[in-house]
Amino acid sequence: MSATEETVKDIVVKIVHCDREVLTPTATFQDMKADSLDMVQVLVAIEDEFGIEIPDEDAQKFQNFGDFITYIEAKVAEKGNA
Amino acid sequence: MAGAKSRIRIAIDAMGGDYAPGEIVKGAVAAVEKDDDIEVILVGPTNTVEAELAKYDISRLPIRYVNSDDFIQEGEHPALAVRRKPNASIAVAIKMVKAREADALVAATATGAIVTSAIQFLGMINGIDRPVLGGPLTSLAPNTVILDLGVNVDCKPEHLLNFAIIGSVYARLFLNIANPTVALLNIGKEEGKGNKLTRETYPLLQKSGLNFIGNVEGNGIFTGQANVVVCDAFVGNTLFKFMEGGAEMIGNYFKDKANSYPMLSHLLKGKVKELMASLALPDSAGGGLIWGVDGIVMKMHGHSRAPDVTIKIAQAKMVVERDVVSCLKSELAKIRKHINL
């Protein structure tokens, strides 16, 4: 598990109050019992933590937690290479 | 605070509410006419705001406007709309608070859009998960604060614990109650009553270190059985609107009876007015400060008219003067020493 994934899980658990074990690659946001305000808080916290921007058009495409992690890892790598 | 006279600067979403921009601008103009210590900054598309302001002589008034390219429209999903429209009037106005170009925001915009913008651009106060609306629900129980009256429809137990903490701070700050009692709104008094949310919240409140006195039923609100009553916004908002409708119905009932029975009307003269005054909803109900976000954000009813706007601007000034956000932070720090979070 990457450091990025660990950090994202920390953020999600703190904001959504879900169990860490729920956060599997196939878990949906419904599985996490996250509502729209949770999601806004998670997105804002992740943008702040990694210094990246997650446009809403991209955020709409995440099907599950795995997609979410893959996207953030790519964004963080992209930022590191810039 | 900037400006030669160091006025309190209130940003207003000129495009938010059922009667925006006309009634919002009218109420804002009246607010600065009434109180020279307030400066109002209207936020909305320049052409629209200018057209409204042209109806008044504002040449000597501390009122100005800031352009926003967009605004949140009726029916848009608030959380998504704010992220999609970073230059919507509500977002621009909240960013002004963040940048300290305004001391507070007042908006009749949809609650979801205000809350989402506030979370996104101001952030939450450390230790608070969710913004919340609350206050006394009825003048019959002025020392009972109910939270949440309108933000979080689906809650988790941790959210209700947050509301209990904020409610306790509210009771200390505004009601001068040193050790406010806290109760969970439920359908029975015994522990174990209620739905999953209330059953899971009970032990959290019990071990919180707050002055938790257990469950309170709906009828206990009127008798002021607790200083702070917590529930999710689905229940809180239903309760509030039931009260609003009930008070109106009772008023109409007495008016009808007075017309039908002039003698009764004569006997009750003055008493009905007294009764209605005691039933009247305090201004905090259905609007007021959005607690928990790191800045002063005041929500107005969506159907606010100009006089409501004027009142809410004056209240925003009072909240700024009392430095409520700093007070909440310092009260939270004090409470944290005694509660188990």
CB spacing of A40 vs B84 below 8 angstroms: no
Residue with the larger pLDDT of the pair A53 and B25 = B25
CB spacing of A56 vs B77 below 8 angstroms: no
CB-CB contact of A49 with A15 (8 Å): no
- Give the number of domains in chain A: 1
pLDDT for position B1: 45
B2 confidence band (pLDDT: 50, 70, 90): very low
A12 part of contact set with chain B, CB < 8 Å: no
- The string of pLDDT tens digits covering residues B247-269 is 778 878 877 877 787 777 777 77
Burial class (CB in 10 A: 0-12, 13-18, 19+), B223: exposed
CB spacing of A41 vs B80 below 8 angstroms: no
Catalytic residues of A: 35
B 127-156 near A (Cβ less than 8 A) = 129-130, 152, 154, 156
Q: What would the mean pLDDT of B177-184 be, rounded to a whole number?
A: 96
CB < 8 Å to B77, chain A: 36
Residue B284 has pLDDT above 60, yes or no: no
B3 confidence band (pLDDT: 50, 70, 90): very low
CATH code at A57? 1.10.1200.10
- The string of pLDDT tens digits covering residues B85-129 is 889 999 999 999 999 999 999 999 988 899 999 999 999 998 888
CB spacing of B120 vs A15 below 8 angstroms: no
ipTM of the complex: 0.71
Q: Which domains does chain B have, with CATH numbers?
A: 1-128+292-322 (3.40.718.10), 129-285 (3.40.718.10)
CB pairs under 8 A between A and B: 37
Residue A8 has pLDDT above 90, yes or no: yes
Q: Look up the pTM and report it.
A: 0.82
Contacts of residue B222, Cβ cutoff 8 Å, sequence gap at least 6: B138, B140, B141
Q: Where do the H-state alpha helices sit in B78-232?
A: 78-84, 89-98, 111-117, 157-175, 196-206, 219-222
CA atoms within a 13 Å half-sphere pointing along the CA-CB vector of A15: 24
Q: Which residue segment(s) compose the domain that A76 sits in?
A: 3-81
A 27-66 near B (Cβ less than 8 A) = 33, 35-37, 39-41, 43-44, 56, 59-60
